[in-house]
Amino acid sequence: MKSNRLKWLAAPYGVWAAGFIIIPLVMIVFYAFTSQETGGFTLANFDDVFTGEVMKALGLSLGLALVSTLICILLAYPLAMILAGMKVSQKSFIVFIFILPMWMNFLLRTFAWQTLLEKNGVINTVLGAINLPPLEIINTPWAIVFGMVYNFLPFMILPIYNVLIKLDQDVVNAARDLGASSFQTFWKVTFPLSLPGVISGVTMVFIPSLTTFVISDLLGGGKILLIGNMIEQEFKQLNNWNVGSAMSMILLLFVIVSMVVENKYDKTGEGTAL
């Protein structure tokens, strides 16, 4: 078999995956269930996770990720629809425009927004110059939501766009032909058929939003703690890898649930094809 002979080509990646994915995962599980003092098996780490402070951070993370995802859907869907209906020549320019920020470093972009949104930053200077009230958004949850939407929006647009361009236009025509208005056609045919793309986009925006700590750090002024920040603190400041791992496992649970939901609806894998 040809495929068997070519299997060894996958070996380098196998080593990579073992070293940087499998082993770290095993270590997280190991640390989560062992005591920092004795090194023996314990469930005590989870007691430190299920505290008011951590649960509050987790709740806030879920809330902000949910809001960001929702905003991304509302922004991305119409754009993806317009884009899918365009001629190829116009399309490439628009795609270029919205992908452009993705080529710049993620940290750099977020730093840039920190500067722009500051109390005496560029935006407020401009607003002041034209006698408008200043934008007091920096260091609030809204700044974090803004940062999430700004950074993850392309990941919502692309999967929806991918599904929409593959949609058989005659299926949409058929709905119109059978008497449906354009509004009815959208809700009964186009939207349900594009759901795999939407769900794919939701996971691709929701999971990174849920786990981020850079955006909340930079745009939240270090005062708003998300679950990502809590985990970072445990590892870096408190040096408690065991509790940090336990928190990571809780977060991992949400990631796995999202992936399961996505797999259930996007059976063909169409939506994930970037």
Partner 1 sequence: MKNKLIDLVNISKSYDGVTVLDELNLYIRENEFLTLLGPSGCGKTTTLRILGGFERPDHGNVFFNGNDITGLPPNKRQLNTVFQKYALFPHMSVAENISFGLKIKNKPQGYIDDKIRYALKLVNMDGYENRYPAALSGGQQQRVAIARAIVNEPKVLLLDEPLGALDLKLRQDMQYELMRLKNELGITFVYVTHDQEEALTMSDTIVVMNQGYIQQIGTPEDIYNEPQNAFVADFIGDSNILDGRMIRDKLVEILGVKFDCVDTGFGENKPVDVVIRPEDVELVKPEKGILSGRVTSIIFKGVHYEMEVHANGYDWLVHSTRLQEVGKEVGIYVDPFNIQIMNKPESTDEEAVPVEE
Among 163, 175, 199, 224, binds partner 1 (CB under 8 A): 175
Rounded CA-CA distance 144/116 in Å is 14
Rounded CA-CA distance 12/17 in Å is 9
Rounded CA-CA distance 103/42 in Å is 45
CA triplet 244, 31, 41: central angle to 5 degrees? 125
Among 4, 12, 105, 168, binds partner 1 (CB under 8 A): 168
- In the bound state with partner 1, the residue whose beta carbon lies nearer, of 18 and 174, is 174
Alpha-carbon torsion (154, 160, 257, 28), positive or negative: negative
Among 84, 138, 145, 189, binds partner 1 (CB under 8 A): 189
Rounded CA-CA distance 9/1 in Å is 15
Does 7 bind partner 1 (CB under 8 A)? Our answer is no
Min dist. Cβ of residue 90 to partner 1 (A)? 14
- In the bound state with partner 1, the residue whose beta carbon lies nearer, of 37 and 170, is 170
Closest CA to 163 of 255, 264, 80: 80
Query: Which region, judged by CB under 8 A, interacts with partner 1, from 99-107, 113-121, 155-163, 177-185?
Result: 177-185
Min dist. Cβ of residue 80 to partner 1 (A)? 19
Residues at the contact surface with partner 1, assessed by CB under 8 A: 168, 170-171, 173-182, 184, 188-189, 192-193
